[in-house]
Amino acid sequence: MLNISLKRINDNIDLAKYKSFQTLETRTVSKVLIRVMTVLLIGGILAMFLPWTQNIRAKGNVTTLSPDDRPQSVQATIGGKIEKWYVQEGSKVSVGDTIMRISEVKEAYMDPSILDNTNNQIIAKNESSKAYSQKAVNLSQQLQALDNGKQIKLEQNQIKVQQTLLKIQSDSIDLVAAKTKAAIAKNQLVRIQNLYDEGLKSLTDLEAKRLSIQEAQAKVLSIQNKVNTNKNELINIKANIIAITNEYDNKIAKSKSDRMSALSSKYDADASKNKLQSQYNTYEVRQSNYFITSPINGTLTVALKTGIGELIKAGDAIVNIIPQKYNLAIETFIQPMDMPLLVIGQKVRVQFDGWPAIVFSGWPNSSFGTFGGKIFAINNDISKNGKYRILIAPDPDDMPWPYEVRVGGGANTLTLLNDVKVGYEIWRQLNGFPADYYKDAKSEKVKTKAPLKKVK
């Protein structure tokens, strides 16, 4: 009773008359309860000394070891319009099987004879290149002929020089003889003149000598003119060397220019041919991409594009394919505090979602429905969720993972650490300390056999 009122009535009530008040006054402790509490206390104390396997629990999902084994998205290499489907969802496909056929939607590629026309252009450019090559060869031969002609002309001119020099030399000798003869005729005329004056010679003899001296002087003059003519001719012949050189140099320069023009045209034709060949290859590859094929062996799961006549763009995902054969793995994430405790090859127990299991966290060997695994890879950089990514592969020394497990399913992982006492583990958890760090001997051997390669 609260006894709030000033007028109390508890003094007027005889509590002995009521059994309920007597029962409340009798407070006894059951001996059974005391025994149970004692047993539980002793059991709890003894349980503190039981072994406990420290572990790191994490939630993950099923994936594959190799990126090639994961679900693949088939994409369109070029844009186009869906013309026909050759498969349906759930179909088994092999590498190279046709999934769909698309048609062209770009105006630049709609010509049905685009390959033939481009190939004809390539042939024409190739013939043009050959013609220019032959022209360059012919011009090279012409250059050689001009060079030979120049040498012959210069040699002929040199011969004329020698011949003219000989003529000048011969005429010079004749000129000396004519001058000598004229001097003799002059002396004879003087003597005849004296004899004529003395009456010893006739006038006829005198006139004959006068005629002879005139003839001698005329011959000297003729030979002198001939010598001068030959000297002038020698000057012209020597000057002709420059004329011949200039004439043939101009012809050779023009021929070289024509040859370079022919080669330039040939290179332009080759460049155009290569460009056309590249276009032809592009058209050929583009036409081969009208048929979209499967890159792997697997099962077609989802068609992302549907209908006939639907337009698709280059790079659009068309279907998803799951590979037929793949090596399962589990992708999970751990706290940064637990990161130093993990090594490659460390043992892990795995519980798959949807698979019946009885898990004892501290006694993994006594659990039922869990499967063995090993740490296959540890990311050195932190993920966007603030944790480190761990990849777990099946343990070859343990029971194989269920065949029914599929990629994308969930899984719980227990990464096994050190064996400690239950009491120590409770104390560690209450204080928020990390698990004991230790190095597994087998893990060390694995790391020694397969060291990580340094990234250059």
Question: Residue 443: which of 363, 365, 371, 376 has the closest Cα?
Answer: 376
Does the pLDDT value for residue 404 go beyond 90?
Answer: no
- Do the beta carbons of residue 111 and residue 341 sit within 8 Å? no
Pick 121 or 58 by higher pLDDT: 121
Percent of the chain residues past pLDDT 90, beyond the cut: 5
* Phi and psi torsions of 431, nearest 5°: -95, -5
Q: With cut-offs at 50, 70 and 90, classify the pLDDT of residue 445.
A: very low
Q: With cut-offs at 50, 70 and 90, classify the pLDDT of residue 455.
A: very low
Does the pLDDT value for residue 357 go beyond 70?
Answer: no
| pLDDT (0 to 100) of residue 453 | 35
Does the pLDDT value for residue 101 go beyond 70?
Answer: yes
The structure tokens 């001119």 sit at 157
Q: With cut-offs at 50, 70 and 90, classify the pLDDT of residue 358.
A: low
How far lies 37's CA from each of 44, 48, 131, 182, 356, in Å?
A: 10, 17, 112, 175, 35
Q: With cut-offs at 50, 70 and 90, classify the pLDDT of residue 124.
A: very high
Q: With cut-offs at 50, 70 and 90, classify the pLDDT of residue 278.
A: very high
| pLDDT (0 to 100) of residue 447 | 40
**Mean pLDDT of the 413-421 span:** 70
CA distance 56 to 387: 13
How far lies 418's CA from each of 45, 54, 343, in Å?
A: 22, 5, 13
pLDDT digits (tens, 9 = 90+) for 180-201: 877 887 787 777 777 777 777 6
| pLDDT (0 to 100) of residue 53 | 65
Q: How many CB atoms lie within 10 A of CB 190?
A: 12
Pick 258 or 307 by higher pLDDT: 258
| pLDDT (0 to 100) of residue 364 | 59
pLDDT digits (tens, 9 = 90+) for 294-350: 888 888 888 888 778 888 888 888 898 888 888 888 899 988 877 777 888 888 888
Which CATH number applies to 53-70+326-449: 3.10.180.10, 3.30.460.80, 2.40.30.170, 3.40.1160.10? 2.40.30.170
Q: Where are the domains of the chain?
A: 53-70+326-449, 72-104+291-322, 114-288
CA torsion sign for 420, 426, 427, 430 is positive
Which architecture does CATH list for 114-288? Orthogonal Bundle (1.10)
CA distance 14 to 64: 83
How far lies 219's CA from each of 96, 125, 178, 206, in Å?
A: 110, 76, 6, 20
Does the pLDDT value for residue 446 go beyond 60?
Answer: no
Q: With cut-offs at 50, 70 and 90, classify the pLDDT of residue 70.
A: confident
Does the pLDDT value for residue 56 go beyond 60?
Answer: yes
The structure tokens 């759930």 sit at 90
| pLDDT (0 to 100) of residue 120 | 92
| pLDDT (0 to 100) of residue 10 | 65
| pLDDT (0 to 100) of residue 420 | 65
| Helix or strand holding residue 103 (H, E) | strand 98-103
| pLDDT (0 to 100) of residue 268 | 92
Does the pLDDT value for residue 274 go beyond 90?
Answer: yes
Which CATH number applies to 72-104+291-322: 3.40.50.300, 3.30.420.40, 2.40.50.100, 1.20.1250.20? 2.40.50.100
Q: pTM of the full predicted structure?
A: 0.54
Question: In the beta sheet, which residues pair with residue 116?
Answer: none
Pick 323 or 205 by higher pLDDT: 323
| Helix or strand holding residue 92 (H, E) | strand 92-93
Question: Residue 332: which of 443, 406, 413 has the closest Cα?
Answer: 413
Sheet strands side by side (includes 311-312)? 291-293, 98-103, 80-85, 311-312
Picking from 121-135, 306-320, 361-375, which range would have the lowest pLDDT averaged per residue?
361-375
Question: Residue 395: which of 443, 347, 444, 359 has the closest Cα?
Answer: 347
CA distance 244 to 247: 5
Largest CA distance in the chain: 228
